[in-house]
């Protein structure tokens, strides 16, 4: 049995960029925020200042429902840094609002992962400053 779990505190934690501040503040408050172009509703792969679709410069932060589907995943047994507990399952999640994000799956066995698996967000502390969004099968 190798139940997928959130990582313990002490892993290499993200250092928020200036444009990522709002995202990480949202995570600390257990809210999943994403940016959407106020002109054309484009959603990117991360925070942006110019819309990659219509090139408007007025992105706004929205709160996601935190539900989506599994798009792709891997199960890691040899971590890049020894502080990670294996196995873990980095994954690309397709949120129901229509954007992709990087995360990891928790709360199931690796064998339960499949294309389109329905998921919900769950937040876990990685350090004093960083709370990471993970996804659990619903």
Partner 1 sequence: MTRQSSHPFADVAIVGVHNTVQARVLPEHDSTSIALAGALGALADAGIAPRDVDGVVGADCAQIALELGLGPCTRRPTQMGIPAVLDAAALITTGQCSVVLVAAGGAAVHVDRSATAPWTRPANELVVGYGLFTAAEFALMARRHMLTYGTTPEQMATAAAVIRTNGHANSEAVYFGRGPFSPADVLASRMIADPFHLLDCATTSEGGCALVLTTAGRAGECDAPVWILGGASDAFGPAYVVAPVWDFQPRADSFPAGLVGARAARIAFAMAGLSVGDVDVAELYDPFSFEIIRQLEAFGFCSPGEGGPFVEDGNIGPGAQLPVTTDGGTMSFSHPGINAQQLQRVIRATQQVRGSCASNQVEGAEVALCSNGGSGALFCDVLLLGPERP
- Within positions 62 to 101, which residues make up the interface with partner 1, using CB under 8 A? 71-82, 84, 88, 90-92, 100-101
Residue among 130, 106, 121 nearest 9 (CA): 130
Three-state SS at 22: helix
- Within positions 23 to 42, which residues make up the interface with partner 1, using CB under 8 A? 24
Residue among 118, 96, 125, 106 nearest 34 (CA): 96
Between β-strands 118-125 and 89-95, what pairing exists: parallel, antiparallel or unpaired?
unpaired
Of 39, 61, 107, 110, the one binding partner 1 (CB under 8 A) is 110
What residues line the site for partner 1 (CB under 8 A)?
7, 11-17, 20, 24, 45-46, 52-53, 71-82, 84, 88, 90-92, 100-104, 110, 115, 126, 130, 132
């Amino acid at each position: 049995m190798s139940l997928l779990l959130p990582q313990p505190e002490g892993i290499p934690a993200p250092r928020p960029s200036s444009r990522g501040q709002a995202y990480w503040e949202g995570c600390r408050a257990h809210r999943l925020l994403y940016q959407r172009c106020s002109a054309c509703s484009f959603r990117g792969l991360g925070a942006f200042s110019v819309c990659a679709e219509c090139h408007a410069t007025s992105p706004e932060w929205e709160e996601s429902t935190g539900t989506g589907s599994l798009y792709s995943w891997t199960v890691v047994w040899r971590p890049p840094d020894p502080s990670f507990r294996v196995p873990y399952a980095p994954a690309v999640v397709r949120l129901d609002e229509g954007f992709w994000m990087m995360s990891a799956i928790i709360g199931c066995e690796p064998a339960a992962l499949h294309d389109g698996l329905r998921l919900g967000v769950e937040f876990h502390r990685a350090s004093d400053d960083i709370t990471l969004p993970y996804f659990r099968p619903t």
